[in-house]
């Protein structure tokens, strides 16, 4: 199995990623990111080399109630250029969950992804997300109902953490759910190397991903998640664990270039230099225009703020730029920042650890 050094070029014989009958391509893809991976972020990721992306997680109750209002219709918006794209779903009750999955399929998503990984306290308190890893019977009921109601040609996948905690019972529950999911017909599983109890504290245990890969033995596709903040991280996870692909979460916010960088390393080319400041400015403008198209000019500046903060990590004066964009309230203010800070000069790779305290 090839090993990809963290600081030197590497070549590989990476196999293209497939999820069931769906051929994805290069096996570094964009993860679902609550509050972030909307249509503009997904489109930019695709334009910069991501072969697949997943929408921000949606609640089954919300999906069943969503109407055609401009304020909410963006949740189900899909651009022609971003196929294949996954729709991720979260909920508590199996029957309602399946109905939400049916709505996602009808909206045009190419893969339906079941979220059993979210560690946020308010989600766990409502018996959603990662909570299901503590109740295998309910989890498997959700999986079976979802697979039954989603059209047969659409793959169903599951996002999991390595357990609710590090007890023996949690480990047994994880593999019971995994084996039951395979039996029910899921096409793939994404595994995050932390437990639900860990949330985002401490390192992701990549050795567990290798164990899952051996356990699955090619029956379904396995994607790895956790601590992927550079192109080298992505290829190293594949090399060390044998997963079929990786999903980049926090490392892709404000950093769509990570996908092309990973492709270059995988092809045996040198790591591309970080995008110059004018190149960054062009992408930020493009991102803002996409947000305007989806949400309207009134909402766009405030929605762009959280992304502008993430983009600032690639600026050599990132703290100064961050303090400017954190107060962003208008398009004019954004253009002023770009003119003042992004007109000329070289960029940088986001400093190591800058995203590690932020939730994915």
Domains of the chain, by residue range, sit at: 17-266, 277-341
Contacts for 172 with CB less than 8 Å, ≥ 6 apart: none
The H-or-E segment that residue 82 falls in is: none
CATH topology of domain 17-266: TIM Barrel (3.20.20)
pLDDT of residue 12: 52
Distance CA 103, CA 66 (A): 10
pLDDT at 92 > cutoff 80: yes
Q: pLDDT tens digit string along 302-352? A: 999 999 999 999 999 999 999 999 999 999 999 999 999 999 999 999 987
111 bridge partner residues: 86
The CA distances from residue 287 to 26, 46, 91, 241, 298, in Å, are 23, 13, 30, 34, 15
**Is there a catalytic annotation at residue 127?**
no
Residue found by looking up tokens 């089954």 in the block: 60
pLDDT of residue 71: 59
Angle between helices 231-241 and 258-266 (to 10 degrees): 50
Confidence of residue 356 (pLDDT cuts 50, 70, 90): low
**Residue pair 322/350 in contact by the 8 Å Cβ criterion:** no
For residue 170, the tally of other CB atoms under 10 A from its CB is: 18
pLDDT of residue 186: 98
Nearest to 109 by CA among 68, 58, 72, 41: 58
Nearest to 246 by CA among 204, 284, 199: 204
Q: pLDDT tens digit string along 98-154? A: 999 999 999 999 999 999 988 888 888 788 888 899 999 999 999 999 999 999 999
**Residue pair 32/241 in contact by the 8 Å Cβ criterion:** no
Distance CA 16, CA 27 (A): 6
Three-state SS at 160: strand
For residue 81, the tally of other CB atoms under 10 A from its CB is: 10
pLDDT at 201 > cutoff 70: yes
Distance CA 101, CA 184 (A): 16
pLDDT of residue 41: 97
In CATH, 277-341 is 1.10.1200 = yes
Q: pLDDT tens digit string along 16-36? A: 999 999 999 999 999 999 999
pLDDT at 358 > cutoff 70: no
The H-or-E segment that residue 30 falls in is: strand 28-30
Q: In the numeric block, which tokens belong to residue 2?
A: 């090839």
**Residue pair 156/109 in contact by the 8 Å Cβ criterion:** no
């Amino acid at each position: 199995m090839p090993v990809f050094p963290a600081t030197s070029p590497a070549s590989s014989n990476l196999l293209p990623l497939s999820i069931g009958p769906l051929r994805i391509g290069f096996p570094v893809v964009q993860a679902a990111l609550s509050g972030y991976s909307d249509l503009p972020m997904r489109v930019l990721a695709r334009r910069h080399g991501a072969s697949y992306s997943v929408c921000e997680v949606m609640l089954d109750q919300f999906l069943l109630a969503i109407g055609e209002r401009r304020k909410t219709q963006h949740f189900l918006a899909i651009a022609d250029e971003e196929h294949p794209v996954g729709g991720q779903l979260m909920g508590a009750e199996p029957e309602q969950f399946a109905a939400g999955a049916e709505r996602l399929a009808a909206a045009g998503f190419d893969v339906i992804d079941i979220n059993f990984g979210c560690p946020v306290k308010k989600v766990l308190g409502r018996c959603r997300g990662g909570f299901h890893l503590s109740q295998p019977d309910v989890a498997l009921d959700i999986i079976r109902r979802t697979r039954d109601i989603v059209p047969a040609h659409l793959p169903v996948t599951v996002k999991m953490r390595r357990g609710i905690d590090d007890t023996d019972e949690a480990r047994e529950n994880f593999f019971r759910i995994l084996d039951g999911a395979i039996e029910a017909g899921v096409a793939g599983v994404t595994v995050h190397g932390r437990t639900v109890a860990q949330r985002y504290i401490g390192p992701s245990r990549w050795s567990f991903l290798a164990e899952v890969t051996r356990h699955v033995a090619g029956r379904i596709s396995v994607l790895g998640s956790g601590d992927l903040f550079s192109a080298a991280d992505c290829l190293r996870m594949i090399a060390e664990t044998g997963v079929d692909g990786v999903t980049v979460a926090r490392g892709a916010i404000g950093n769509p270039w990570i996908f092309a960088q990973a492709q270059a390393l995988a092809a045996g080319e040198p790591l591309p230099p970080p995008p110059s400041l004018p190149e960054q400015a062009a992408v930020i403008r493009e991102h803002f225009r996409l947000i305007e198209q989806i949400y309207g000019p009134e909402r766009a500046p405030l929605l762009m703020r959280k992304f502008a903060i993430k983009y600032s990590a690639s600026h050599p004066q990132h703290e100064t730029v961050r303090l400017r964009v954190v107060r962003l309230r208008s398009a004019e203010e954004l253009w002023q920042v770009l003119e003042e800070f992004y007109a000329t000069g070289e960029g940088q790779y986001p400093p190591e650890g800058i995203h590690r305290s932020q939730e994915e």
